[in-house]
Structure 1
Amino acid sequence: MLEEKKLTKKDYVVVSSMLFALFFGAGNLIFPLHLGQLSGSNWLPAALGFLVTGVLLPLLSVLAISITRSEGVYDIGKPLGATFALVFMVLIHGTIGPLFGTPRTATVSYTVGLAPLIPAQYQTLGLVVFSAVFFGLAYFLSVEQSKIVSNVGKLLNPVFLVLLAFVFFLGFSNPMGTPVKQAVTSAYKTGAFTNGFLQGYNTMDALAGLAFGVTVVTAIKYMGKKNPNGIAMVTARAGLFSMGFEGVIYVALILLGSMSLGKFKLSANGGIAFDQIVNHYLGVVGQSILAALITLTCLTTAIGLVAAFAQDFHKHFPKISYKTWLAFTSAASFLTANLGLNQIISWSTPVLMFLYPLAMALILLSVLSPLFKRDPVVYKFVVTFTVIPALFDMMAAFPPVVSQSAFGKLMANFQQSYLPLAQYGLDWLLPALLGMVLGVACHLVKQHAATKVQVPQEDQN
């Protein structure tokens, strides 16, 4: 057998760069900026909350892939059975893929970067043309799986980081205001941490980390690593580096958003805030830089999302080729993108409120799985206790047409009256912990019973 290739430091940097670029997309730019504006002088506790769901959880999702030697989101849910794992995989890929996440990469880059340069009467046509070219490029750059690392890690991501560093240089060398003096919106006066925590859901990174597992593992295999232990170690190291770097950028973006209140009023979203910031410093040139910055970061994430979708679906439905699945998710994302950014965000939020607690539970179970040997009984208790409050959270987050219906109000009243921490959107937390305690207790009882059954042969004679 040929000796397995040992990766160099340069290889690790390239894998880390690719992983960072896959994670860092549309929401990763606009949501931290808007969080900074919403929290004002309370930016620090808001940032800490955001880092939990925006950095720690995605890192744990990468570690979960590494610890369980998984190759994707399906393997993470497999202890609960093949049917659950397949349904969970489809829900995750649908959410971060053609239904919500992937279309958002095109709509954000168009709305923030190019729309301000296009006359109002051509906005709809502009989005159609832009999204067609955008997803055409995403398909082209991910059609050869062996080249994804090179296209993203060596080419697109370094250009993006140079442009972002330039924006940070301008923002911090000549600040628009002092963060400690900025106004705080009412929700962030007492609940800055929990609101920052919930804002981190919008990045979709904990879900994406599970889905990107197949892309990262495939890329590492193409670099010469074949042994599962070696692949797991490379994945874990790259995850630590890339997510730590992402955390630094998040804090800088939150600070930049808070400082922008010295010149601008609270914006409707982070895209508008970013547009105002770069135009303040650079005018029309700034708009061009912003367009390039947003398009690059969104394109790298789109490449990862369409590739992960196609790789996972081809693996589980092999009669359809990788390229066909890739064409399907690219075309479907194009169609969804033309519904508009606001529609995508309003309908993705309730789905995220349902899926995130389940994803967080499975991520933590995977990380802790060596302690209970991935015993399915522990998984079943935790997920069963988590899914019920998650359904209530989903209903409460729907647009008014659903959440304010008679049934929606009935569920909301029950949730607020009987589920602890519901007012913070964390009513799943205590049930999940209770499920963990009961599941581990059952595992220990089973283990003890199995030990008693294994009586030494000489004792039987």
Structure 2
Amino acid sequence: MKKKDLLVSGLALFAMFFGAGNLIFPPYLGLMSGRLWPLALLGFISIEVVMSCLGIYALFYAGDGPEAISNAVGKKAGMLLNSAAIFLTGIFIAAPRTAATTYEMLVKPINSHIPLWAFSIVFFAVVYLLTRRQTSLVDVIGRFLTPILTISILVLIVIGIMSPDGKIHQPLTSQIMPLSIQTGYQAMDIITAAGFSLILGQNFANMGLHTRKERLKAAAGTCFIAGLILAAIYAGLAYIGAALGVPGLKDVSQAALLVAITSQLLGSFGVRLLGLITACACLTTCVGLFGATASYIDELSHGKIKYSKAIILITVINFIICNLGLTRIIKFASPILTVIVPPIIVILLLLLASKFVKAQLIYQGAALGALVGGFLVMLQDSFKLLPIVKEFPLYNYGFGWILFAFIGGLLGLVITKLKPQPVKETA
């Protein structure tokens, strides 16, 4: 794989990962952690960057994209998990949320008289035009959209670092690591791993990379580049939040905090620049999600619903859901993601050890345990129905489900060991 192609691939993955949520979380962490912002950054990166990139690599290491998950937990369970992850991100939650977020941070501050439905028509028309050709997807993102996004963010970060008025205050919370890990968990892109691995796999095939060794090397390089850029940008944004965020802003929303900091730095021009950054971040993420979802539908239907038709269908559904508004989308997304994300995390982490973890029952038990644990956590977090959940190990870190995953995997291992082994016939 040529270095230039590897760079384009890495930039494309970075842009697909980097949505509006990735933009607004680090400054908030910087504000809350103050002088200890590097510690908060470390916790956030360990979840948001490391686990997301490892998830992509794990799928290439253990197989080839979503197929690796199906091989691990079984065809039916794998199809359900892959479909849930890809459809939730590409159709029902993440993709329509990108348009709604862009409207809130770009259009509304400039002209509140423009209705959401009018803006969403334009937004999704652009996304459709950029994704209708499957083979050009990575090039469109990596060569054109990503440079605009990256340069815009760097301008904001550099101006923030050079600002002479920044005074880093004392931490506003004593729970810095729990906060940073929980925030990384909320922003985590690991749920997109299956879909984005499809796009990368198709791109590698177009480059003539067909052997496992070639594709694994390309995946490692791509994830390394994407992860490095993400970590660097998160560091700059966290520093801006620590240096320019004032304690009085701790109760405002994360988006409002970033708008306030940007306005402080650059005035009305800065707010418009932030709008451009948000638009680019949301557009690149939406393009990646559309392409991944359409490719998956084509593959899942065995070509009965072609990529070109799937893109049209996805565009229409996204337009409808987007017009529910950002608040409603976030509200119904939270309990769903609390349940579906844990088993995906567990499977991807186990796939990294697939050389040693081979028994399907271990994957199935751990995934089922994580699903049950995530469901119990959701009952408490969203509906306050199960207060005992607060006593679960690591609940305060966003991993209240992990004990159930461990128990489920352990049971799978025990059952595997107890199963009668086939008797080898002797001559």
Structure 1 runs (4+) greater than 6 angstroms displaced: none
Q: Is 1:366 paired with 2:351? A: yes
Give the CA deviation at 1:301. 0.6
Note if contact 1:78-1:84 (Cα within 8 Å) is conserved in structure 2: no
1:168 pairs with one of 139, 157, 170: 157
1:333 corresponds, among 318, 322, 333, to: 318
Cα deviation per residue 1:240-292 (whole Å; 9 max; x = unaligned)? 22112211211221221222323862253222222222222222222222222
Q: Which amino acid aligns with 2:89?
A: I
Query: Per the alignment, do residues 47 and 346 of structure 1 end up closer, same or farther by CA in structure 2, a change over 3 Å counting?
Result: farther
Q: Is residue 222 of structure 2 the alignment partner of residue 238 of structure 1? A: yes
How far residue 139 of structure 1 moved from its aligned partner, in angstroms, is 1.1
Aligned position for 2:93: 100
SS in 2 for 1:383: helix
Map 1:9-48 to 2 at 5 A: 9-48=3-42
Corresponding residue to 1:257 among 233, 241, 244: 241
Map 1:381-460; keep pairs closer than 5 Å.
Answer: 381-398=365-382, 403-404=383-384, 408=385, 412-416=386-390, 419-443=392-416, 449=421, 453-454=423-424, 457=426
Taking a change above 3 Å as real, the CA distance of residues 267 and 162 of structure 1, as seen in their structure-2 partners, is: farther
1:122-160 alpha-carbon deviations (Å, 9 max, x no partner): 15x1x2222211111111111111111211101110111
Shift of residue 11, structure 1, vs aligned partner: 0.9
For 1:176 and 1:255, locate their aligned partners in 2 and report how far apart those are by CA, in whole Å.
Answer: 13
Match of residue 294, structure 1, among 269, 278, 287: 278
Kept in 2: contact 1:138–1:303 (CA 8 A): yes
Deviation, structure 1 residue 175: 5.1
Structure 1: which amino acid aligns with 2:320? L
State the Cα distance separating 1:40 from its structure 2 match: 3.4
Aligned pair partner of 2:48 in 54, 60, 71: 54
Q: Offset of 1:192 from its aligned partner?
A: 1.9
Find 1:83's aligned residue among 68, 76, 88.
76
Q: Helix, strand or coil for the counterpart of 1:371?
A: coil
- Aligned equivalent of 1:200: 184
CA, structure 1 residues 14+427, in 2 after alignment: closer, same or farther (shift >3 Å)?
A: same
Is the alpha carbon distance of 1:221 and 1:264 closer, same or farther for their aligned partners in structure 2, counting shifts above 3 Å?
Answer: farther
Q: Select the structure of larger CA radius of gyration.
A: 1
For the residues of structure 1 that align with 2:320 and 2:250, how far apart are their CA atoms? 31
For residues 157 and 438 of structure 1, what CA distance do their matches in structure 2 show?
Answer: 45
Rounded Cα–Cα distance in structure 2 between residues aligned with 1:441 and 1:244: 40
- Determine what percentage of the aligned residue pairs are the same residue: 26
The residue type equivalent to 1:167 in the other structure is: L
Q: CA distance change for structure 1 residues 342 and 257 in 2, over 3 Å: closer, same or farther? A: farther
Query: Equivalent residue of 2:355, what SS?
Result: helix
Q: Structure 2: which 5+ runs fail to align? A: none
Shift of 1:57: 1.1
Q: Is the alpha carbon distance of 1:104 and 1:175 closer, same or farther for their aligned partners in structure 2, counting shifts above 3 Å?
A: farther
State the shift of 1:177 in Å: 2.9
String of CA shifts for 1:153-207, please: whole Å, max 9, x gaps. Answer: 011101111111111111001154333x2451xxx41x32122212123324011
Cα distance in 2, alignment partners of residues 171 and 282 from structure 1? 9
Match of 1:141 among 130, 140, 146: 130
Deviation at 1:114, TM superposition (A): 2.3
Q: Give CA-to-partner distance per residue, 1:18-52, whole Å, 9 cap, x none.
A: 11111111111012222323333443333222112
Q: Check conservation: 1:372, 1:440, Cα contact below 8 A.
A: no
> What SS is found at the alignment partner of 1:103?
helix
Of 420-429 and 129-138, deviating more is 420-429
The answer to whether the Cα contact below 8 Å between 1:160 and 1:297 also exists between their aligned partners in 2 is: yes
Q: State how far apart, in whole Å, the 2-side matches of 1:45 and 1:446 are.
A: 47
Q: 1:3 matched to which residue of 2?
A: none
Residues 206-235 of structure 1 show CA distances to partners (whole Å, capped at 9, x for unaligned) of 111222110111112122222343222211
Equivalent pair of 1:34/1:267 in contact (CA under 8 Å): no
Return the alpha-carbon distance in structure 2 between the equivalents of residues 352 and 443 of structure 1.
Answer: 30
State how far apart, in whole Å, the 2-side matches of 1:141 and 1:170 are: 32
Q: Any stretches of 5+ residues in structure 1 without a counterpart?
A: 1-6
TM-score, scaled to structure 2: 0.93
TM-score scaled by length of structure 1: 0.86
Cα deviation digits, residues 2-30 of structure 1 (max 9, x gap): xxxxx211111011111111111111101
State the distance in 2 between where 1:302 and 1:439 align.
Answer: 38
Give the Cα separation in 1 of the matches to 2:271 and 2:395: 41
Separation in 2 of the partners of 1:251 and 1:423? 24
1:376/1:36 CA distance change after superposition, 3 Å = same
Q: SS of 1:369's equivalent?
A: coil
In structure 2, the CA distance between the partners of 1:371 and 1:444, relative to structure 1 (3 Å rule), is farther
Matches of 1:288 and 1:219, distance apart in 2: 34
